[in-house]
Structures are given as C-alpha cells and as structure tokens.
Structure 1
Amino acid sequence: MEILRYSAFTDRPDGGNPAGVVLDARGLDDTDMLRIAAEVGFSETAFVFAAQDPGHTHEVRYFSPRAEVDFCGHATVATAVALAERSAPGTLVFRTNAGRIDVATAAEGPALRATLTSVPTSSQPVALPHLESALKALRWSDADLDPAFPAHVAFAGNHHLMLAAASRQRLADLDYDFEALHALSRAQDWTTVHLFHRDTDTLFHARDPFPLGGVVEDPATGAAAAAFGGYLRVIGRAPHNSPVTVLQGDDMGRPSRLTVTTAASDPRVSVSGQAVPMP
C-alpha cells in the first residue's frame, strides 16, 4: 500500500492544504483507515476503492485523524489530480458517503487543476442559541459580525456554520476555545466553522476551524467552499456569471486559492483548484 501526499488548492508544495491519498485501499477496514489517517496526520486522507457499479468510476472515503468524514473537498481535488497524473486528464466520478461527486481535471501550466461539482446544496439561518454558543467559543461578540451576511448553516455534503467577520483583522486574530467549539460542532454536526470576510463581491478571505477532525484549522476547505457558494446563492449575494475567489490559509503561512462557481438554475456548486505532490 502506497500513501501519497498532495497539497490542494495551490501550485506549490508548501502552500494549500495537505491531504493523504491511498489510490488502492482494497482490504482496508474502518479501523485500518482511521489508523492510517492518524499516522499521516493531515486533516483528511482519501481512500480509493474500485466502483461497485458501472455508473461510477471510483468509490472514495475520507478519514480525519479522529473520524470518518462524509465528504472532503481538498482531498477530492488531491485524489483527482493523483489519478489524472497516472492516466490522463479528463472527467472522473467519485461515489462518496455524501453522494455522487463529478470531478473534471485539466492541465494548467506545470500543474493540474481539478474542478469538483458538489451534491445539491442548501442553507438556512442558524438557531440563535447555537450562534451564541459559537460566538462564545470563538471569543467573538455580535459586533464582530458583518450584518450584511446573516449567520447560516450551509450544506454541500456536510454541514458548516457560516459566520462573516466584520473586519479582516477580526478574521486574522483567531484564538478560540478548541474543546468548546469541538463539543458544539459535534452536537450540531458541523464539520467546520467557515469564518469569512468580504473584500469585494467576488473576493473573500476565509478561515476554517476544524476541531471535529482534531485539527485547529484547515488551510483550504473545499467542502466548506462549496457550502459557501450555496449560502451566497440563498442569501442573494452570489455574483451573476462570475466565479468567487476564496483566499484561505494566508494567516497560517499556507496560502490557498479556491474558485467557487454557482448557477441560478443548478443547486450544485463547483469548486476548483490545483494540487501538487509533496516531497
């Protein structure tokens, strides 16, 4: 068994979000995969199995160091690029616990780009008691929120709390109660808390605490980016005919760039980025 290491949503190995990739996971059970994910130590490791029916190309499961995750965007991009490097760029279909994920791969300069299309998204306002608990765990106040972006829980294969920071400085100054946010995320089934700040209508900065996976913060979160696209569409802030760029990881020293595309007629969201092997 070979464990590959890729960094997703970047064109350099020291940027983006690292993911483990096991392209042949035959014979591994849940205990094996959880152990391997913990040994790799990245926020997620993807495990690829042969498809069980001809309508899907690959069955993919994702494990954090603590638990299985139904869907992981950056590990999907990393896995698609790893597969394309070993065959040829083209269209892949992943069967995940969250549902079918189509992934298109293409050459872009010296690297490969992968574009995943999520399951249908949804978004709804978060309950006030849960919002208050999240703000307390984050050590934020109501004044730290941007009122133009209501707090929601958005879904694109898993759930993410959406909170808009009123300033870039508030986003940069992240110091939260890990155990409190972990307990809240576990109780509410939030995979991450997607904290973001609007720069322009098509450019956002983001940070994603991920205590549920045993990780303080993700430097690039494709699943949350897909949910974010669905959220923007629901609240009427998705730009017409223009993709949204999400810059993440800058405050961690691992700059990442995610491109999010929505369409008014399609409940799904596309998230695109490059991925490169890590030494």
Structure 2
Amino acid sequence: MNSPTTFPTKAEQKVQFENNKLEKRLCRQVGEAIGDYNMIEDGDKVMVCLSGGKDSYAMLDILLKLRERAPIHFDIVAVNLDQKQPGFPEQVLPAYLTELGVPFHIETQNTYSIVTRVIEEGKTTCGLCSRLRRGILYRVADELGATKIALGHHRDDILETFLLNLFYGGKLKAMPPKLVSDVKKHVVIRPLAYVQEKDLERYAQIKQFPIIPCNLCGSQENLQRQAMKTMLNEWDKKFTGRVENMFAAMSSVVPSHLLDGKLFDFKGLTVDTEVEQGDVAFDEEPCGTNSTEPLELNDLNTIRPQTIQFV
C-alpha cells in the first residue's frame, strides 16, 4: 500500500524560498566579483584552498555551481593544508571531497610546531602562520599546474583588514580581490569579495558543511581583528548602510582628495591641472547642503551658524 503524499507546510515553503534566494544571491555576488575583476578565464585551473571552515566550503560549492553554467571552461582542484594541529580530523575533508567527486590534494606540513615554538604563548600567531601557509600553497600550485589560487576571504574580512591598516598600520590598504605574488608567478583571487559573512554562516547551516574548527587561531580570543569584527557588526545593527558605504568607498577612490603625493602630483598642481571634481566634491552629500548645486561664495552668508549641526 502506497504511503500518502505529504506536502510541505507554508512555514517549510517559506524556509525553502529564503534558502533558494540566499543561494541565488551568493551565486550572483560571486559571479559579479569574478566578472568585475576578470578572476577566472577560459582554460584556467583554479586551486581552491579549502581550510575546513564555512567560507572555503561555500566558495568551493558556489564555484562548482557557477562552472556548470559558465560560458567558459575551467578546472577546479581543492587543496587542503594539514598543519598537524592537535586533534585535526584528517579524514573529514578527503571523505567530503571524494563523495563530492572533486579532485583534491592534501598537503601535510607540520607548521603548527613551528608556530608554537617561535611565537610566545598568548601572542598572535596569525602573521607567521599565514606566511608559512602562503609559501606552501604557492609551491603546491606550481606542482599542480594551477593558474589561479582561490582564497575564501569575504567582504567582512576585507573591511576588517582595511580598518586594521587604518588604525594600526597608518595605511589605506585592504585585501585586493585579485593580486599577483611577489615572485610574479601566482595569481591569487578572492571570489567571495562581495559576500557578507552572515550570509556564509547561514549558507553553511543550510548545506550542513562538515566544519573543522581551527584550534590554532580560534584559541586566541583577544585578536585585534576580532575587535574590528565586533565594531563592524555593531555599526551594521545601529547604522543602516554604513558598512555598505565603507565597502563601496574602497572602489570609489579620489586620489586628488587624499594626501599621497605618489598617487597625485600635488607639487606640480596648477590652475591648469585637470583634477577630478575639484572643490565641487565638498558640496555633495553628506558633506554639503541638501542641494546638489555648489554654493556660491555669497550664499555662505545666508547660512546661520546655529543651523549647522555636527553629528
């Protein structure tokens, strides 16, 4: 006897609708980032660096989906660096990738012992760990013949790096969506550059990725990056659009309105120099009045001091 057909409830249908909408948004954002920065080209072999965290799992999943509908052909190989951290479940990723049918390579290098020996207890290990990991991944990319190295950094990572450099490094610098290694041999791409971390967290729950925690980094609670993450999350909750505007600002730079003489020739500036916007830029919102027209000098006399508010 056949069992009766069951239909999803309205609540279940709503959840499925939201899940599908999230997947479409992630695919769109990754596709836009790839297109905007020409990250992947026809014939590329993309080495997807898989850490076992939500970000790299999602990156692999979305790249596989985009490859199915892409107008170009590119290959994907997943690579994991087993750094011999205590308790690392080395069977998880091979089992997952085998079931997925994705070519993969597991590189085993005991960088954990190096980091823990060199760095004092309680100090941040991220810098040394990153340098060691980067060198190994570059070598593996050469051995596998990969033309692109895909890292799982997302929009929040880029903003956090921007703030870290601003507050602690004295630089206007972040994570570029695409870069060439110092030895001019490797092209590194960040396909998740437009994706928010909170979307990746939800996507990982939906997909039930077998997440592997990083004991080496996760044990450090007082990282400056965590402070930046907390600040961005608070801004996102309290001030609608602030974080989005910050991210947009990184792709809308006006060198003539900053202070870097290497980017703009201030010393050679004359009345005949072509300058983007000039002083008109300061009349635009949110710096000026509600009008989009620049103020004439005489108009300044009509603005009473008590009407000017500093927020």
TM category, shorter: under 0.3
* TM-score normalized by the length of structure 1: 0.24
Tell which has more relative contact order, 1 or 2 (C-alpha 8 A, sep 6+): 1
Which of the pair is proportionally richer in strand?
1
Which of the pair is proportionally richer in helix?
2
* TM-score normalized by the length of structure 2: 0.22
